[in-house]
Structure 1
Amino acid sequence: MIDLRKRIKRKEWKKSTIKRYKNIKNLLTEFEKAKKYKLTFSKINNTFYTEFIDFCYEDKDHYTNTFNRNLGLVKTFLFWALKKEYMYNKKFIDFKKPKRVLTREEALSFEDIKTLYNHVCEDPKLNKIKDVFIFQSLTGMRFGELKLINKRTVNSNDCVVLKEEKDSSKDTREIPLISISKAILLKYNYKLPLVSNQKQNDYIKEVLKEAGFVHEVEYSKTKGVEQEVFVKKFYERISTHTARRTFITIMRNKGIADKTIMSISGHKDIKTFNMYHQVNNDAKIHAVKSVFENF
Protein backbone atom coordinates (compact mmCIF):
# COMPACT_ATOMS: atom_id res chain seq x y z
CA MET A 1 0.00 0.00 0.00
CA ILE A 2 0.94 3.67 -0.23
CA ASP A 3 3.65 4.67 2.24
CA LEU A 4 1.45 6.19 4.95
CA ARG A 5 4.37 7.58 6.92
CA LYS A 6 5.49 9.84 4.07
CA ARG A 7 1.96 11.14 3.55
CA ILE A 8 1.56 11.80 7.28
CA LYS A 9 4.90 13.61 7.61
CA ARG A 10 4.16 15.78 4.58
CA LYS A 11 0.71 16.65 6.00
CA GLU A 12 -0.81 15.63 2.66
CA TRP A 13 -3.67 13.61 4.15
CA LYS A 14 -6.23 14.31 6.82
CA LYS A 15 -6.67 11.79 9.64
CA SER A 16 -9.90 10.52 8.10
CA THR A 17 -8.10 9.77 4.81
CA ILE A 18 -5.31 7.93 6.63
CA LYS A 19 -7.90 5.88 8.51
CA ARG A 20 -9.68 4.91 5.26
CA TYR A 21 -6.48 3.63 3.66
CA LYS A 22 -5.47 1.70 6.78
CA ASN A 23 -8.91 0.10 6.80
CA ILE A 24 -8.67 -0.91 3.14
CA LYS A 25 -5.20 -2.36 3.77
CA ASN A 26 -6.65 -4.46 6.61
CA LEU A 27 -9.54 -5.53 4.38
CA LEU A 28 -7.16 -6.75 1.65
CA THR A 29 -5.09 -8.61 4.25
CA GLU A 30 -8.28 -10.35 5.43
CA PHE A 31 -9.17 -11.14 1.81
CA GLU A 32 -5.80 -12.84 1.26
CA LYS A 33 -6.30 -15.11 4.26
CA ALA A 34 -9.98 -15.88 3.66
CA LYS A 35 -9.62 -16.60 -0.05
CA LYS A 36 -6.05 -17.96 0.10
CA TYR A 37 -5.29 -15.54 -2.72
CA LYS A 38 -1.78 -14.08 -2.52
CA LEU A 39 -2.01 -10.50 -3.73
CA THR A 40 0.58 -9.33 -6.20
CA PHE A 41 0.22 -6.68 -8.90
CA SER A 42 0.22 -9.38 -11.59
CA LYS A 43 -2.73 -11.17 -9.92
CA ILE A 44 -5.03 -8.15 -9.97
CA ASN A 45 -7.30 -9.57 -12.66
CA ASN A 46 -10.88 -10.69 -13.25
CA THR A 47 -10.45 -13.60 -10.85
CA PHE A 48 -9.41 -11.19 -8.10
CA TYR A 49 -12.36 -8.93 -8.96
CA THR A 50 -14.87 -11.79 -8.71
CA GLU A 51 -13.38 -13.15 -5.47
CA PHE A 52 -13.18 -9.67 -3.92
CA ILE A 53 -16.87 -9.04 -4.68
CA ASP A 54 -17.81 -12.39 -3.11
CA PHE A 55 -15.60 -11.72 -0.07
CA CYS A 56 -17.08 -8.26 0.57
CA TYR A 57 -20.72 -9.29 0.11
CA GLU A 58 -20.66 -12.75 1.66
CA ASP A 59 -17.78 -12.87 4.16
CA LYS A 60 -17.91 -9.25 5.34
CA ASP A 61 -21.66 -8.73 4.79
CA HIS A 62 -20.99 -5.38 3.11
CA TYR A 63 -23.69 -3.64 1.12
CA THR A 64 -23.41 -1.93 -2.27
CA ASN A 65 -22.42 1.52 -1.00
CA THR A 66 -19.65 0.13 1.21
CA PHE A 67 -18.34 -2.03 -1.63
CA ASN A 68 -18.47 0.96 -3.98
CA ARG A 69 -16.28 2.97 -1.60
CA ASN A 70 -13.81 0.13 -0.96
CA LEU A 71 -13.36 -0.77 -4.62
CA GLY A 72 -12.87 2.92 -5.37
CA LEU A 73 -10.02 3.10 -2.83
CA VAL A 74 -8.41 -0.03 -4.29
CA LYS A 75 -8.57 1.44 -7.80
CA THR A 76 -7.16 4.78 -6.60
CA PHE A 77 -4.16 2.95 -5.15
CA LEU A 78 -3.68 0.89 -8.32
CA PHE A 79 -3.78 3.99 -10.53
CA TRP A 80 -1.12 5.50 -8.25
CA ALA A 81 1.01 2.35 -8.55
CA LEU A 82 0.61 2.42 -12.35
CA LYS A 83 1.64 6.06 -12.49
CA LYS A 84 4.73 5.37 -10.36
CA GLU A 85 5.55 2.39 -12.61
CA TYR A 86 5.41 -0.08 -9.74
CA MET A 87 3.10 -2.13 -11.98
CA TYR A 88 2.14 -2.38 -15.66
CA ASN A 89 -0.98 -4.50 -15.32
CA LYS A 90 -4.00 -2.44 -16.45
CA LYS A 91 -6.74 -5.05 -16.05
CA PHE A 92 -8.08 -3.29 -12.94
CA ILE A 93 -9.21 -0.34 -15.08
CA ASP A 94 -12.18 -2.43 -16.26
CA PHE A 95 -13.35 -3.18 -12.69
CA LYS A 96 -16.82 -1.64 -12.49
CA LYS A 97 -17.97 0.04 -9.31
CA PRO A 98 -21.68 -0.54 -8.66
CA LYS A 99 -23.78 2.60 -8.59
CA ARG A 100 -24.34 3.99 -5.12
CA VAL A 101 -27.82 3.28 -3.80
CA LEU A 102 -29.84 5.98 -2.07
CA THR A 103 -30.80 4.35 1.22
CA ARG A 104 -33.74 5.76 3.14
CA GLU A 105 -32.47 7.69 6.14
CA GLU A 106 -34.60 9.29 8.83
CA ALA A 107 -35.03 12.99 9.56
CA LEU A 108 -37.04 14.69 12.27
CA SER A 109 -39.82 17.11 11.38
CA PHE A 110 -40.15 20.64 12.75
CA GLU A 111 -42.78 19.37 15.21
CA ASP A 112 -40.51 16.48 16.24
CA ILE A 113 -37.76 18.94 17.12
CA LYS A 114 -40.15 20.95 19.29
CA THR A 115 -41.33 17.77 21.02
CA LEU A 116 -37.75 16.72 21.68
CA TYR A 117 -36.78 20.19 22.90
CA ASN A 118 -39.64 20.21 25.42
CA HIS A 119 -38.82 16.73 26.72
CA VAL A 120 -36.83 16.67 29.96
CA CYS A 121 -34.70 13.55 30.44
CA GLU A 122 -34.45 11.94 33.85
CA ASP A 123 -30.68 11.61 33.50
CA PRO A 124 -28.89 15.02 33.40
CA LYS A 125 -26.27 13.49 31.10
CA LEU A 126 -28.94 12.75 28.50
CA ASN A 127 -30.21 16.34 28.67
CA LYS A 128 -26.74 17.46 27.56
CA ILE A 129 -26.81 14.95 24.71
CA LYS A 130 -30.24 16.26 23.71
CA ASP A 131 -29.06 19.88 23.78
CA VAL A 132 -26.18 19.11 21.44
CA PHE A 133 -28.49 17.26 19.03
CA ILE A 134 -31.01 20.15 19.07
CA PHE A 135 -28.20 22.63 18.42
CA GLN A 136 -27.04 20.58 15.42
CA SER A 137 -30.60 20.35 14.10
CA LEU A 138 -30.96 24.14 14.24
CA THR A 139 -27.61 24.92 12.61
CA GLY A 140 -26.89 22.02 10.24
CA MET A 141 -23.34 21.72 11.55
CA ARG A 142 -21.37 18.50 11.40
CA PHE A 143 -20.77 16.90 14.78
CA GLY A 144 -17.00 17.24 14.31
CA GLU A 145 -17.35 21.01 13.81
CA LEU A 146 -19.02 21.63 17.16
CA LYS A 147 -15.71 21.53 19.01
CA LEU A 148 -14.60 24.62 17.08
CA ILE A 149 -17.25 26.84 18.69
CA ASN A 150 -16.29 29.35 21.39
CA LYS A 151 -17.07 32.98 22.21
CA ARG A 152 -14.62 34.24 19.60
CA THR A 153 -16.34 32.31 16.79
CA VAL A 154 -19.72 34.00 17.38
CA ASN A 155 -19.90 37.43 15.77
CA SER A 156 -22.05 40.48 16.52
CA ASN A 157 -24.72 39.26 14.08
CA ASP A 158 -25.23 36.11 16.18
CA CYS A 159 -23.59 33.88 13.59
CA VAL A 160 -21.04 31.16 14.16
CA VAL A 161 -18.09 32.01 11.91
CA LEU A 162 -16.60 28.70 10.87
CA LYS A 163 -13.57 27.79 8.82
CA GLU A 164 -14.28 24.67 6.79
CA GLU A 165 -12.76 21.71 8.65
CA LYS A 166 -12.91 19.06 5.92
CA ASP A 167 -11.47 21.24 3.14
CA SER A 168 -9.21 24.16 4.03
CA SER A 169 -9.58 25.56 0.50
CA LYS A 170 -13.28 26.33 1.11
CA ASP A 171 -14.43 29.76 2.22
CA THR A 172 -15.26 30.61 5.80
CA ARG A 173 -19.00 30.31 6.34
CA GLU A 174 -21.44 32.01 8.69
CA ILE A 175 -24.08 29.93 10.47
CA PRO A 176 -26.99 31.95 11.87
CA LEU A 177 -28.13 31.31 15.44
CA ILE A 178 -31.75 31.62 16.53
CA SER A 179 -32.86 32.30 20.09
CA ILE A 180 -32.91 28.61 21.07
CA SER A 181 -29.53 27.67 19.59
CA LYS A 182 -27.97 30.78 21.15
CA ALA A 183 -29.58 29.94 24.49
CA ILE A 184 -28.00 26.47 24.34
CA LEU A 185 -24.59 28.05 23.75
CA LEU A 186 -25.08 30.47 26.64
CA LYS A 187 -26.19 27.60 28.88
CA TYR A 188 -22.77 25.99 28.43
CA ASN A 189 -20.78 29.25 28.20
CA TYR A 190 -20.11 28.71 24.47
CA LYS A 191 -18.49 25.31 25.06
CA LEU A 192 -20.92 22.55 24.15
CA PRO A 193 -20.81 19.40 26.35
CA LEU A 194 -19.37 17.06 23.75
CA VAL A 195 -18.64 13.36 24.02
CA SER A 196 -17.19 11.13 21.30
CA ASN A 197 -19.22 10.72 18.12
CA GLN A 198 -19.85 7.07 18.96
CA LYS A 199 -21.12 7.85 22.46
CA GLN A 200 -23.31 10.64 21.09
CA ASN A 201 -24.78 8.15 18.62
CA ASP A 202 -25.50 5.69 21.43
CA TYR A 203 -26.95 8.20 23.87
CA ILE A 204 -29.14 10.10 21.41
CA LYS A 205 -30.98 6.86 20.73
CA GLU A 206 -31.74 6.63 24.46
CA VAL A 207 -33.00 10.22 24.43
CA LEU A 208 -35.38 9.65 21.53
CA LYS A 209 -36.61 6.37 22.98
CA GLU A 210 -37.39 8.11 26.27
CA ALA A 211 -39.13 10.93 24.36
CA GLY A 212 -41.48 8.43 22.70
CA PHE A 213 -40.04 8.08 19.18
CA VAL A 214 -40.64 4.34 19.17
CA HIS A 215 -42.71 3.83 16.01
CA GLU A 216 -41.39 1.37 13.44
CA VAL A 217 -39.77 2.45 10.17
CA GLU A 218 -38.83 0.39 7.14
CA TYR A 219 -35.66 0.73 5.10
CA SER A 220 -33.73 -1.34 2.59
CA LYS A 221 -30.13 -2.19 1.77
CA THR A 222 -28.74 -3.49 -1.50
CA LYS A 223 -26.13 -6.11 -2.38
CA GLY A 224 -25.56 -6.07 -6.11
CA VAL A 225 -29.04 -6.67 -7.55
CA GLU A 226 -30.44 -8.11 -4.31
CA GLN A 227 -32.39 -5.85 -1.98
CA GLU A 228 -33.06 -6.62 1.69
CA VAL A 229 -35.81 -4.90 3.68
CA PHE A 230 -35.38 -4.18 7.39
CA VAL A 231 -37.68 -2.84 10.11
CA LYS A 232 -36.45 -0.96 13.17
CA LYS A 233 -37.75 1.44 15.77
CA PHE A 234 -37.38 5.08 14.71
CA TYR A 235 -34.97 5.93 17.54
CA GLU A 236 -32.68 3.07 16.52
CA ARG A 237 -32.08 4.77 13.16
CA ILE A 238 -30.94 8.08 14.67
CA SER A 239 -27.34 9.32 14.83
CA THR A 240 -25.46 12.61 14.93
CA HIS A 241 -25.78 12.80 11.15
CA THR A 242 -29.58 12.77 11.52
CA ALA A 243 -29.44 16.27 13.01
CA ARG A 244 -27.66 17.69 9.95
CA ARG A 245 -30.10 15.86 7.66
CA THR A 246 -33.00 17.23 9.75
CA PHE A 247 -31.81 20.82 9.32
CA ILE A 248 -31.52 20.47 5.54
CA THR A 249 -34.86 18.66 5.20
CA ILE A 250 -36.80 21.21 7.27
CA MET A 251 -35.22 24.16 5.46
CA ARG A 252 -35.96 22.68 2.03
CA ASN A 253 -39.52 21.77 2.99
CA LYS A 254 -40.01 25.41 4.01
CA GLY A 255 -39.01 26.48 0.50
CA ILE A 256 -35.59 27.93 1.34
CA ALA A 257 -33.33 28.10 -1.75
CA ASP A 258 -30.73 25.34 -2.06
CA LYS A 259 -27.95 27.88 -2.53
CA THR A 260 -28.84 29.53 0.80
CA ILE A 261 -28.97 26.22 2.67
CA MET A 262 -25.69 25.03 1.12
CA SER A 263 -23.96 28.26 2.15
CA ILE A 264 -24.89 27.40 5.75
CA SER A 265 -24.26 23.64 5.66
CA GLY A 266 -21.01 23.98 3.70
CA HIS A 267 -22.03 21.73 0.82
CA LYS A 268 -20.51 22.52 -2.58
CA ASP A 269 -21.76 19.48 -4.48
CA ILE A 270 -25.51 19.48 -5.20
CA LYS A 271 -25.52 15.69 -5.67
CA THR A 272 -24.18 15.12 -2.15
CA PHE A 273 -26.48 17.81 -0.80
CA ASN A 274 -29.53 16.12 -2.34
CA MET A 275 -28.75 12.93 -0.43
CA TYR A 276 -29.44 14.78 2.82
CA HIS A 277 -32.97 15.77 1.90
CA GLN A 278 -35.59 13.29 3.10
CA VAL A 279 -39.11 13.95 1.80
CA ASN A 280 -41.43 12.95 4.65
CA ASN A 281 -45.15 12.18 4.45
CA ASP A 282 -46.21 15.60 5.75
CA ALA A 283 -44.27 17.34 2.97
CA LYS A 284 -45.79 15.06 0.33
CA ILE A 285 -49.34 15.52 1.66
CA HIS A 286 -48.90 19.30 1.78
CA ALA A 287 -47.50 19.35 -1.77
CA VAL A 288 -50.41 17.35 -3.23
CA LYS A 289 -53.09 19.29 -1.32
CA SER A 290 -51.61 22.65 -2.28
CA VAL A 291 -51.95 21.71 -5.95
CA PHE A 292 -55.16 19.66 -6.09
CA GLU A 293 -57.23 20.54 -2.99
CA ASN A 294 -59.49 22.98 -4.91
CA PHE A 295 -60.33 20.43 -7.62
Structure 2
Amino acid sequence: MKFFFCFWICFVGAITAGAQNYLDCHFAPGWEQSGLKRQYTPDNLFDYRDGAAEGYLAFSFTGMQGIDCKSGTTMLSIDVSDMTDAESAYGMFATNRDPQQPIVKIGMGAQLLPQSLLFAKGKYFVEIVETDGSTDSNQTAALQTLAAKIEPLLEGRNTPPETLSWFPTENQISARLVPESVLGLKILKRGYVATYNHGQAFIVIEQSPESAAEVMKKLRDRLGPTSTAAIADEAFQLKAPYLDGICIFRKGRTIAGYTNLPDSQSATTQALILAARIP
Protein backbone atom coordinates (compact mmCIF):
# COMPACT_ATOMS: atom_id res chain seq x y z
CA MET A 1 0.00 0.00 0.00
CA LYS A 2 2.86 2.37 0.89
CA PHE A 3 4.55 1.64 -2.43
CA PHE A 4 1.32 2.29 -4.33
CA PHE A 5 0.81 5.60 -2.52
CA CYS A 6 4.34 6.76 -3.32
CA PHE A 7 3.93 5.69 -6.93
CA TRP A 8 0.66 7.64 -7.21
CA ILE A 9 2.20 10.79 -5.73
CA CYS A 10 5.12 10.57 -8.17
CA PHE A 11 2.73 9.92 -11.08
CA VAL A 12 0.54 12.92 -10.26
CA GLY A 13 3.64 15.06 -9.73
CA ALA A 14 4.99 14.06 -13.13
CA ILE A 15 1.71 15.02 -14.82
CA THR A 16 1.68 18.40 -13.04
CA ALA A 17 5.29 19.08 -13.94
CA GLY A 18 4.62 18.16 -17.56
CA ALA A 19 1.60 20.46 -17.64
CA GLN A 20 3.69 23.37 -16.37
CA ASN A 21 6.87 22.94 -18.40
CA TYR A 22 5.69 25.63 -20.82
CA LEU A 23 6.14 28.23 -18.04
CA ASP A 24 9.82 29.08 -18.10
CA CYS A 25 11.25 32.60 -18.28
CA HIS A 26 14.59 31.20 -19.45
CA PHE A 27 13.02 30.43 -22.81
CA ALA A 28 14.13 34.00 -23.66
CA PRO A 29 17.79 34.84 -22.90
CA GLY A 30 18.21 37.47 -20.20
CA TRP A 31 14.84 36.89 -18.56
CA GLU A 32 14.35 35.58 -15.01
CA GLN A 33 11.32 34.49 -13.03
CA SER A 34 9.84 37.08 -10.68
CA GLY A 35 7.69 35.72 -7.87
CA LEU A 36 5.92 32.39 -7.73
CA LYS A 37 3.97 30.63 -10.45
CA ARG A 38 0.24 31.24 -10.18
CA GLN A 39 -2.76 29.04 -10.72
CA TYR A 40 -6.47 29.89 -10.97
CA THR A 41 -9.72 28.00 -11.40
CA PRO A 42 -13.24 29.19 -12.25
CA ASP A 43 -13.84 29.64 -8.52
CA ASN A 44 -11.08 32.22 -7.93
CA LEU A 45 -10.32 33.71 -11.36
CA PHE A 46 -12.08 36.93 -10.29
CA ASP A 47 -9.23 37.44 -7.78
CA TYR A 48 -6.87 37.85 -10.73
CA ARG A 49 -8.92 39.05 -13.69
CA ASP A 50 -11.65 40.87 -11.76
CA GLY A 51 -14.29 42.13 -14.23
CA ALA A 52 -12.73 40.29 -17.17
CA ALA A 53 -13.24 36.86 -15.58
CA GLU A 54 -16.76 36.55 -16.97
CA GLY A 55 -15.37 36.62 -20.49
CA TYR A 56 -13.13 33.64 -19.75
CA LEU A 57 -15.93 31.69 -18.09
CA ALA A 58 -18.18 32.25 -21.11
CA PHE A 59 -15.65 30.35 -23.22
CA SER A 60 -15.61 27.22 -21.02
CA PHE A 61 -12.59 28.21 -18.93
CA THR A 62 -11.36 25.46 -16.61
CA GLY A 63 -8.02 26.74 -15.35
CA MET A 64 -5.07 29.11 -15.77
CA GLN A 65 -1.39 28.83 -14.99
CA GLY A 66 0.90 31.82 -15.15
CA ILE A 67 4.29 33.29 -14.41
CA ASP A 68 5.97 36.71 -14.37
CA CYS A 69 9.30 37.27 -16.10
CA LYS A 70 11.72 40.16 -15.54
CA SER A 71 14.59 41.64 -17.56
CA GLY A 72 15.97 44.82 -16.04
CA THR A 73 12.94 46.96 -15.31
CA THR A 74 10.76 45.25 -17.92
CA MET A 75 8.10 42.79 -16.77
CA LEU A 76 6.21 40.27 -18.88
CA SER A 77 3.36 38.11 -17.64
CA ILE A 78 2.67 34.75 -19.26
CA ASP A 79 -0.77 33.23 -18.70
CA VAL A 80 -1.92 29.97 -20.25
CA SER A 81 -5.65 29.24 -19.97
CA ASP A 82 -7.30 25.87 -20.52
CA MET A 83 -10.57 26.54 -22.39
CA THR A 84 -11.82 22.91 -22.58
CA ASP A 85 -11.77 22.67 -26.39
CA ALA A 86 -10.04 24.19 -29.41
CA GLU A 87 -13.16 26.01 -30.58
CA SER A 88 -13.43 27.86 -27.26
CA ALA A 89 -9.71 28.65 -27.19
CA TYR A 90 -9.83 30.15 -30.67
CA GLY A 91 -13.01 31.97 -29.71
CA MET A 92 -11.22 33.54 -26.76
CA PHE A 93 -8.35 34.60 -29.01
CA ALA A 94 -10.63 36.07 -31.68
CA THR A 95 -12.60 38.00 -29.06
CA ASN A 96 -9.50 39.57 -27.51
CA ARG A 97 -7.51 40.39 -30.63
CA ASP A 98 -7.60 43.75 -32.40
CA PRO A 99 -9.53 43.16 -35.66
CA GLN A 100 -7.59 46.01 -37.26
CA GLN A 101 -4.31 44.12 -36.85
CA PRO A 102 -3.20 41.04 -38.82
CA ILE A 103 -3.21 37.45 -37.58
CA VAL A 104 0.21 35.75 -37.62
CA LYS A 105 0.89 32.02 -37.85
CA ILE A 106 1.50 30.72 -34.35
CA GLY A 107 -0.69 27.79 -33.31
CA MET A 108 -4.23 28.24 -34.64
CA GLY A 109 -3.65 31.98 -34.88
CA ALA A 110 -1.83 34.78 -33.10
CA GLN A 111 -1.60 38.54 -32.85
CA LEU A 112 1.76 40.16 -32.21
CA LEU A 113 1.92 43.78 -31.03
CA PRO A 114 4.89 45.68 -29.53
CA GLN A 115 3.83 44.89 -25.96
CA SER A 116 1.69 41.77 -26.23
CA LEU A 117 1.33 38.46 -28.00
CA LEU A 118 -1.87 36.39 -27.93
CA PHE A 119 -2.29 32.98 -29.51
CA ALA A 120 -4.39 29.83 -29.32
CA LYS A 121 -3.35 26.24 -29.83
CA GLY A 122 -5.53 23.24 -29.15
CA LYS A 123 -7.59 24.01 -26.08
CA TYR A 124 -5.10 26.59 -24.79
CA PHE A 125 -5.26 30.38 -24.95
CA VAL A 126 -1.92 32.09 -24.28
CA GLU A 127 -1.31 35.71 -23.28
CA ILE A 128 2.17 37.22 -23.02
CA VAL A 129 1.85 40.85 -21.99
CA GLU A 130 4.18 43.61 -20.76
CA THR A 131 2.96 44.70 -17.34
CA ASP A 132 5.49 47.26 -16.07
CA GLY A 133 3.45 50.25 -17.21
CA SER A 134 5.65 51.29 -20.15
CA THR A 135 3.69 52.67 -23.09
CA ASP A 136 6.42 53.03 -25.72
CA SER A 137 8.69 49.97 -25.43
CA ASN A 138 8.95 47.28 -28.06
CA GLN A 139 9.22 43.72 -26.75
CA THR A 140 8.55 42.01 -30.07
CA ALA A 141 11.76 39.95 -30.04
CA ALA A 142 11.23 38.59 -26.52
CA LEU A 143 7.55 37.90 -27.19
CA GLN A 144 8.36 35.93 -30.35
CA THR A 145 11.13 33.98 -28.61
CA LEU A 146 8.89 32.98 -25.70
CA ALA A 147 6.02 31.99 -27.99
CA ALA A 148 8.34 29.92 -30.19
CA LYS A 149 9.32 27.86 -27.14
CA ILE A 150 5.86 27.61 -25.56
CA GLU A 151 3.81 26.72 -28.64
CA PRO A 152 5.42 23.32 -29.39
CA LEU A 153 4.87 22.25 -25.76
CA LEU A 154 1.11 22.71 -25.98
CA GLU A 155 -0.88 19.78 -27.35
CA GLY A 156 -3.69 20.12 -29.86
CA ARG A 157 -4.55 21.44 -33.29
CA ASN A 158 -2.71 24.34 -34.89
CA THR A 159 -5.30 25.20 -37.54
CA PRO A 160 -8.38 27.40 -36.96
CA PRO A 161 -11.83 25.82 -36.61
CA GLU A 162 -13.06 24.61 -40.01
CA THR A 163 -16.33 26.52 -39.66
CA LEU A 164 -14.48 29.82 -40.12
CA SER A 165 -13.46 28.80 -43.65
CA TRP A 166 -17.12 28.63 -44.66
CA PHE A 167 -17.53 32.39 -44.40
CA PRO A 168 -16.80 34.37 -47.59
CA THR A 169 -13.57 36.32 -47.10
CA GLU A 170 -14.28 39.26 -49.41
CA ASN A 171 -14.80 42.48 -47.40
CA GLN A 172 -14.67 40.49 -44.15
CA ILE A 173 -13.57 42.56 -41.13
CA SER A 174 -13.53 39.85 -38.47
CA ALA A 175 -14.93 36.44 -37.53
CA ARG A 176 -15.38 35.13 -34.01
CA LEU A 177 -17.11 32.56 -31.86
CA VAL A 178 -20.09 33.86 -29.92
CA PRO A 179 -20.42 31.60 -26.86
CA GLU A 180 -24.11 32.30 -26.27
CA SER A 181 -27.09 34.17 -27.73
CA VAL A 182 -25.89 34.56 -31.33
CA LEU A 183 -27.44 37.72 -32.85
CA GLY A 184 -28.72 38.46 -29.36
CA LEU A 185 -31.18 35.56 -29.65
CA LYS A 186 -31.15 32.95 -26.88
CA ILE A 187 -32.56 30.42 -29.34
CA LEU A 188 -29.18 30.48 -31.13
CA LYS A 189 -27.09 29.20 -28.25
CA ARG A 190 -23.54 29.18 -29.67
CA GLY A 191 -22.02 29.89 -33.06
CA TYR A 192 -19.78 32.00 -35.28
CA VAL A 193 -20.38 35.53 -36.51
CA ALA A 194 -18.46 37.23 -39.32
CA THR A 195 -18.63 41.01 -39.70
CA TYR A 196 -18.34 42.62 -43.14
CA ASN A 197 -18.13 46.13 -44.50
CA HIS A 198 -21.88 45.74 -44.97
CA GLY A 199 -23.84 43.24 -42.90
CA GLN A 200 -22.87 40.20 -40.91
CA ALA A 201 -23.10 36.45 -41.38
CA PHE A 202 -23.57 33.75 -38.78
CA ILE A 203 -23.28 29.97 -38.52
CA VAL A 204 -24.76 27.79 -35.78
CA ILE A 205 -24.38 24.01 -35.75
CA GLU A 206 -27.07 22.05 -33.92
CA GLN A 207 -26.91 18.47 -32.66
CA SER A 208 -29.03 17.07 -35.50
CA PRO A 209 -31.11 18.13 -38.52
CA GLU A 210 -34.21 17.58 -36.39
CA SER A 211 -33.06 19.90 -33.61
CA ALA A 212 -32.01 22.47 -36.23
CA ALA A 213 -35.48 22.30 -37.80
CA GLU A 214 -37.04 22.93 -34.39
CA VAL A 215 -34.81 25.98 -33.88
CA MET A 216 -35.86 27.29 -37.31
CA LYS A 217 -39.50 27.00 -36.28
CA LYS A 218 -38.82 28.93 -33.09
CA LEU A 219 -36.96 31.60 -35.05
CA ARG A 220 -39.91 32.06 -37.39
CA ASP A 221 -42.22 32.45 -34.42
CA ARG A 222 -39.81 34.86 -32.73
CA LEU A 223 -39.02 37.04 -35.75
CA GLY A 224 -42.16 36.76 -37.96
CA PRO A 225 -43.90 37.52 -40.15
CA THR A 226 -41.53 35.96 -42.67
CA SER A 227 -41.53 34.94 -46.31
CA THR A 228 -40.06 31.72 -47.69
CA ALA A 229 -36.72 31.73 -49.52
CA ALA A 230 -35.41 28.95 -51.78
CA ILE A 231 -32.13 28.06 -50.06
CA ALA A 232 -30.86 24.64 -48.92
CA ASP A 233 -33.35 22.58 -46.86
CA GLU A 234 -35.46 25.54 -45.78
CA ALA A 235 -35.10 29.30 -45.47
CA PHE A 236 -36.97 32.49 -44.72
CA GLN A 237 -36.38 36.20 -45.12
CA LEU A 238 -37.70 39.37 -43.50
CA LYS A 239 -36.78 42.83 -42.30
CA ALA A 240 -36.79 43.28 -38.53
CA PRO A 241 -35.84 45.94 -35.97
CA TYR A 242 -32.15 45.97 -35.00
CA LEU A 243 -31.25 43.27 -37.55
CA ASP A 244 -32.60 45.01 -40.70
CA GLY A 245 -32.61 42.77 -43.79
CA ILE A 246 -32.38 39.11 -42.73
CA CYS A 247 -32.21 35.75 -44.44
CA ILE A 248 -31.83 32.57 -42.38
CA PHE A 249 -31.51 29.06 -43.81
CA ARG A 250 -30.99 25.50 -42.63
CA LYS A 251 -28.67 23.03 -44.31
CA GLY A 252 -28.80 19.71 -42.48
CA ARG A 253 -27.99 20.51 -38.86
CA THR A 254 -26.45 23.88 -39.72
CA ILE A 255 -28.39 27.13 -39.33
CA ALA A 256 -26.83 30.16 -41.00
CA GLY A 257 -27.60 33.41 -42.76
CA TYR A 258 -27.04 37.13 -43.15
CA THR A 259 -28.37 40.10 -41.20
CA ASN A 260 -27.97 43.88 -41.06
CA LEU A 261 -28.31 44.40 -44.79
CA PRO A 262 -30.52 47.10 -46.36
CA ASP A 263 -33.33 44.70 -47.22
CA SER A 264 -34.24 41.02 -47.04
CA GLN A 265 -33.48 40.39 -50.72
CA SER A 266 -29.90 41.61 -50.27
CA ALA A 267 -29.56 39.24 -47.31
CA THR A 268 -30.95 36.37 -49.38
CA THR A 269 -28.46 37.01 -52.17
CA GLN A 270 -25.56 36.77 -49.71
CA ALA A 271 -27.10 33.79 -47.94
CA LEU A 272 -27.10 31.84 -51.20
CA ILE A 273 -23.35 32.37 -51.47
CA LEU A 274 -22.81 31.26 -47.87
CA ALA A 275 -24.99 28.16 -48.29
CA ALA A 276 -22.89 27.01 -51.24
CA ARG A 277 -19.75 27.12 -49.06
CA ILE A 278 -21.17 24.97 -46.25
CA PRO A 279 -20.54 21.22 -46.73
Q: Between the two structures, name the one with larger relative contact order (CA 8 Å, sep ≥ 6).
A: 1
- TM > 0.5 between the two? no
Q: TM-score under structure 2 normalisation?
A: 0.24
Give the structure with the larger strand fraction.
Answer: 2
More helix per residue: 1 or 2? 1
